[in-house]
Chain A
Amino acid sequence: DGGITQSPKYLFRKEGQNVTLSCEQNLNHDAMYWYRQDPGQGLRLIYYSQIVNDFQKGDIAEGYSVSREKKESFPLTVTSAQKNPTAFYLCASTSLGLADHNEQFFGPGTRLTVL
């Protein structure tokens, strides 16, 4: 069945290490997004991509990198330059068809903890 998958669900990282979070969708959606959620805060946009091989920075892109080599996949790398990486990371996607509204569909999330 269609949906968005994120893996792993829980991830532990030592300080100074880069780590890559996976996001895959089989909804044939054009656009994909990465958000970060911290306790008591809303979702903040890290990066987004509306087409393969193109992506834009969101509000808090520093310390993160992404790629969009395939329409279905939008991995996020949390680099050692990210000062406070411990958070809940959410991936989302949406269709950009003219008849579509931009409801975003979310994956189950990855909780990253830096030790």
Chain B
Amino acid sequence: DQQVKQNSPSLSVQEGRISILNCDYTNSMFDYFLWYKKYPAEGPTFLISISSIKDKNEDGRFTVFLNKSAKHLSLHIVPSQPGDSAVYFCAASVVRRQLTFGSGTQLTVLP
């Protein structure tokens, strides 16, 4: 039973446009959400996070939105750059326990 789902395995966008990556979760006890970026044959790197007491967190070109009633979060990248092409994982945790990861979305930014 997947508690964290990324239903889009891939996404392609033009350079300079907005990339929107989506993530849904089923466990209402999750109180902290994270996004990681991963290049092939490398470990994931932390990108941005959000606590359940907030609905938005911004860091440069990256913004994460949390909709608790819909159990949905999204990552917006504006503007998208070719170097953003990678697999993006969302993850969630309950009271700072271990993370539960989604299956990932491959983002391709076309020049």
Q: Which residues of A contact B (CB under 8 A)?
A: 4, 6, 33, 35, 40-45, 48, 58, 88, 90, 92, 96, 101-109, 111
Contacts and interface: CB of A to CB of B under 8 A. Distances in A.
19 contacts: A4-B43, A6-B43, A33-B98, A42-B4, A42-B6, A42-B102, A44-B101, A58-B98, A90-B43, A101-B32, A101-B96, A102-B32, A102-B97, A103-B49, A106-B36, A106-B45, A107-B43, A109-B41, A109-B43
A42 B46 contact: no
B34 A103 contact: yes
A114 to B, nearest CB: 18
B50 to A, nearest CB: 10
A41 B106 CA distance: 11
Contacts of A96: 96
Contacts of B43: 4, 6, 90, 92, 106-109
A40 B42 CA distance: 15
Contact of A104 (B4, B41, B46): B46
Nearest to A88: B41
Contact of B103 (A41, A45, A88, A111): A41
Q: How large is the interface on B (under 10, 10 to 19, 20 to 34, 35 or more residues)?
A: 20 to 34
Contact of B96 (A44, A92, A102, A111): A102
Interface of B: 4, 6, 9, 32, 34, 36, 41-46, 49, 51, 89, 93, 96-99, 101-104
- Pairs A-B, 8 closest by C-beta atoms: A106-B43, A42-B101, A42-B103, A43-B101, A102-B96, A103-B46, A106-B44, A108-B43
Contact of B42 (A33, A48, A104, A108): A108
Contact of A40 (B46, B98, B103): B103
Contacts of A6: 43
Contact of A102 (B36, B41, B44, B99): B99
A104 B101 CA distance: 12
A33 B98 CA distance: 9
